[in-house]
A and B are shown apart, each in its own frame.
Chain A
Amino acid sequence: MDNNLGIYICSGCDIGKSLNVERLVNTAKDSNKPVVCISHEFLCGPEGVNLIKNDIAEKKINKLVIAACSMRAKQDVFNFDPLTIHTERVNLREHVIWISPPNDNNTQLLAEDYINMGASKAKKAAFPEPLIQDLNKTVLVVGGGITGLNAAINSAKVGYEVVLVEKKSNLGGFPYSKYKKWETKPPFDKNIWIKEGLDELISRVESSKRIKIYKNSKIKSVSGAPGKFNVEIEPSDKDNAAEVINETVGSIVAATGWKPYEAKKLDYLGYGLTPDILTNVELEELYSELSENGKSESFTVKRKSNGSAVKSIAFIQCAGSRDENHLPYCSTVCCMSSLKEAALIRKNNPDANVYIIYKDIRTPGEYENFYRKMQDDEGIYMVKGAVSDISYDKGNNEIGVKVKDTLFGGDIDLNVEMLVLASGMVPNSGEIEYGQDVNLTAGNPTSASGASCPPSIPVSTAQVAKSGLLNLAYRQGKEMPDLAYGFPDSNFICFPYESRRTGIYPAGSVRMPMDTVFSVDDAKGAVLKAIQCVEQTSKGKAVHPRSNDMTYPFFDLPRCTQCKRCTEECPFGAIDEDEKGTPKYNPERCRRCGVCMGACPVRIISFKNYSPDIVASMIKSLYIPEDPTDENYRILVFACENDAYPALDILGLNKINLSSNIRVIPVRCLGSINNVWYADALSKGIDGILLLGCKFGDDYQCHFVKGSELASYRMGNLKETLTRLVLEEERVRQIQLEFTDYMKLPEIVEDFVNKIKSLGPNPYKGF
């Protein structure tokens, strides 16, 4: 491979006024022996870009070092074919002149170091060789409820083949055989027939030529990767002797919905005392029965115990929800559903008094209007309070409800004929397998509810202990990992629909509790993600968050020691392994974070343009002055490209000075840091190493889920090494930083620099 290096230094945006550009050009020439090294006062202007283009054409420059602004700026201008030209951006503006005093020797040294690092990286970097394949683009939709039907019809609408698998004999999901739903459009003030529009949707799905439907079926196993998943579909009824059918699909939308929270766990609220105490789902079922599946509108709601018309009924909201001993979360629909039921009772039994005891009434968005409407009904009484006791008086056939801490300023007692426990939704995300080989320890709070709240996974392994839904033939387990409480999401805010299994997108109430209106939109979102995935993957490009990245890790397997760290630590389960433990990498499942590269103790994993060797040579290119004065301390900063690097940019934008002792190396994720870099840096004479990465823990912000946590975990091992080298472990520090924390950076850096100064210079300096 020809290495025709061209270094272009921009002197615009005050770079020329703050730095000695002539000196920069000269040192860059001396250190890196480029084919071209020039400065230009307006590199991003047409003249500057043409200059680069001419050099590419005439001087065959294929390694560009553009020393100008942040790599996050002017991406549209410095946009050269990545397959033939490596473009390395050196950030002289945001990371040098905007945060350092102008025309200062230390500022000049900082700029020189950055250009040298950029040039070393460019020289070593190879061009990506994208994995372009002809892949299957069929969307597998698991579940034929509202979400599944909408996912199927929307995929078909935009021209994608669909395989729809439904375990029951009919499509339509939970609402299919129920009675009424609340109005789904403003003004949300009445209840409508639940199957309004549903039958039509089902018939559209059933008549679509692009949709292949398997009813009474479930997934036996899924193997492969996006674009080439092999799905085994078997009958859901075990007695059925039908054969297993194989389908190949490109991506998967998991719309498996929810199941009601187990009613018998609600015995603390009186469930089981009398047939008149029932759950909200049981009340819905009672309605389907009374209405003869919607055929009849005029009926009276009768007590199950004695068949008399109900004259008083109480609803207890958050029954087994928002409770650490049961479901810790809010299911968002129970308030609306109780209000709807209250309205129905008032319509069918006009003399009935309806009581609603709530923790908080939650009617999201415009549903508030429905709540307001129900508030106005003189027979509906709502109060905030906590149910303290439920008793059943057999003689009077009455249910006593004691409520404490009410807004009446005390406790109240209610006597009612019927009691409805508004309990929550549990995601259908697979059942927990209690196997011996599964490590379920490492600080996980196993909740009393068992199935609903699986324990969190220990840091070092992403093993999923569930099965029964997708039954993935993956090394890390059969189902998608949970984000929390059994919901297989990746991050509720940043990456909706994205599970931690590339190509598999949960949608609807399996992803988070939601009603049918939200599920319709959710289905569309997940379908777009599923399509994006197969399209990107077939072009050899990564999906979010490193969208369009065409590199992928290369495994030099002959040197592999089968330590299994990569297969265990991959946040996305991209790496399977053979019987011996040799990794079997699936590039289509990969998100290109580099966590495997960071994990590998023998450094056999590398990307074409990002590898242990490339970063090592960047570190090697740094100038480390030996004179132990304050300004000569050198701190290496590994900054996460996703949050920490932009935070540094914003700091620059605000022109806030930062210590000139630091040298920043952007990394794909802190998880991609290989421990060898610490050794490289410390033996080079670097005095301290600062890691700036995302927040980890329960509300993590890491774009690759576990990267920053893994970096912190691996530093545990590093500290032993440091002690052995008689180096203070404080020389390496990790800081969890949010993008918006940029104002904290000067303090963070100064604090660390002072710490290093108090430790004194690195004793290996100059060796």
Chain B
Amino acid sequence: MKNTVVKTDNELVKYIKEVGESNFKKCFQCGTCSAVCPLSTEDRPFPRKEMIMAGWGMKEQLVSDLDPWLCYYCGECSKNCPRKAEPGELMMSLRRFLISAYDWTGISKLLYKSKYAEYIAILIVALGVLIEWAVLFGLHPAAGATLGQAVSPDKIDYYFDWPITVFLGVMLTSFIYNMFRKTVLSDAGVKIPLKLYFTEAWSLMFNFFTQYRYAKCDDSEGTSSKKLTEGKYNFWLTHLFLMISYVILFVGIVFFLDWFQNENSLPYLHIILFDYFASIGLIFGTVYFIVKRLTKKIERSKFSHHTDWMFVILLFLTGVTGVLLRASIVYNYSVSAIFYIYLVHLMILFPMLVIEVPFSKWSHLAYRPVAIYFANLKEKAKSLNNENAEIS
């Protein structure tokens, strides 16, 4: 750390205390957490480092820290902490803090601080959807109209799909740029050559689609196949299954909406992909996490913030109403039944997208692989610098 005058911020300490259940002030820096962490390295001694930075409310250092995103909350640190200071939970709290720090609108902070703020925000979006729907399609389907006439896929595309895609794209991009600015550009010690951004891009994709670091969370002895049969990869694989399902559905709905609205036009492969794989993934995944959060048997599900609950429940309801909607189309329900199911589905889906994606828990889907990418960039750049220094 540079020898700069330390600024402590007890408001920040309070905020971090509020957005999680870690007793990080209890830490006496023994370092057990970093020693047992399967992912922590000598250069990145998390979560020990974060424990004291949080304890001292060192805003500057915390905002530029990528390490909370490198943690997958296996809970080994919390299990072994002699002070029961819950370092794993602190990393979770810090991810919440970071989400609110990247968000320049200030909405995240509001949502994390107060569960009522989150309820109200969701209600507002749901009501907005209702009003928009009423304007576009009315509150009843016209008598004798087909589904295509009652709920035009074009209108859904124009007034729902495209705007939300653009909104989410703009929001997330600006937040990620904010993150880039705070974690990479602000670090005067590292200059990243432009070439690296491209050569390291594979790691972004690789980590996004495999969440491979999750597997490293278990560093016990044994072969991968043994660990698989012992269920040590269950959490990772379920999480991956849920994420892939979500991405498939999101892409499918945004770009190929009419396939979903027309049973006949859906190609066979897509039936398997969307109707079975992704639907099962979404519902199985959310149910799995809800059960874990209710039973609280494993470290990572021991504590649940209200935003955790909101995200997983909204996602589950989105899945259930989506499946119901698809079934009602496939099994030729009355147009009016489909009309209402469609409305309910959107009133759940949109709050989930508008609130959770940029401002809350969902955003880790974007931040985590990006953070790993940034961390890789910095590390590579540093080792390049060192090599150059040695040569010269």
Contact = CB atoms under 8 A, between A and B. Distances in A.
Contacts of A748: none
A412 interface: yes
B57 interface: yes
A353 B10 contact: yes
Interface stretch (A145-153, A223-231, A377-385): A377-385
Contact of B26 (A372, A408, A412, A414): A372
Interface string A376-414: 111101011000000000000000001000011111111
A413 B10 contact: no
A412 B1 contact: yes
Contacts of A381: 8, 55-57
A361 B28 contact: yes
Nearest to A413: B5
Nearest to B30: A407
Contact of A408 (B1, B13, B57): B1
Nearest to B61: A408
Interface of B is mostly: loop
Given A378-B10, A413-B5, A383 B17 contact: no
Q: Which range holds the interface residue count of chain A?
A: 20 to 34
A378 B13 contact: yes
B3 A411 contact: yes
Contacts of A384: 29
A375 interface: yes
Contacts of A355: 8
Contacts of B26: 372, 375-376
A414 B3 CA distance: 10
Contact of B6 (A377, A409, A413): A413
Contact of B23 (A361, A376, A408, A415): A376
A407 B8 CA distance: 16
A414 B5 contact: yes
A408 B23 CA distance: 18
Contacts of A353: 8, 10
A376 B1 contact: no
A381 B55 CA distance: 7
Contacts of A412: 1, 3, 6
B14 interface: yes
Contacts of A361: 28
Contacts of B3: 402, 410-413
A719 B145 CA distance: 123
Interface in B7-22: 8, 10, 13-14, 17
Given A353-B10, A409-B45, A409-B49, A375 B25 contact: yes
A378 B17 contact: yes
A292 B376 CA distance: 61
A528 B52 CA distance: 48
A372 B26 CA distance: 6
B4 interface: yes
Nearest to A409: B1
A592 to B, nearest CB: 49
Most buried by B among A407, A410, A413: A407
B4 to A, nearest CB: 7
B25 A383 contact: no
A357 to B, nearest CB: 11
A377 B25 contact: yes
Interface in A675-732: none
Contacts of A379: 10
A378 B6 contact: no
Contacts of B6: 412-414
B59 to A, nearest CB: 13
Given A375-B25, A378-B13, A408 B52 contact: yes
Contacts of A410: 1-3
A409 B49 CA distance: 8
Contacts of A411: 1, 3
B8 to A, nearest CB: 5
Interface of B: 1-6, 8, 10, 13-14, 17, 23, 25-26, 28-29, 45, 49, 52-53, 55-57, 83
6 contacts: A361-B28, A372-B83, A376-B25, A378-B17, A378-B57, A381-B56
8 shortest A-B CB distances, which residue pairs? A378-B13, A410-B1, A407-B29, A378-B10, A413-B5, A379-B10, A411-B3, A412-B6
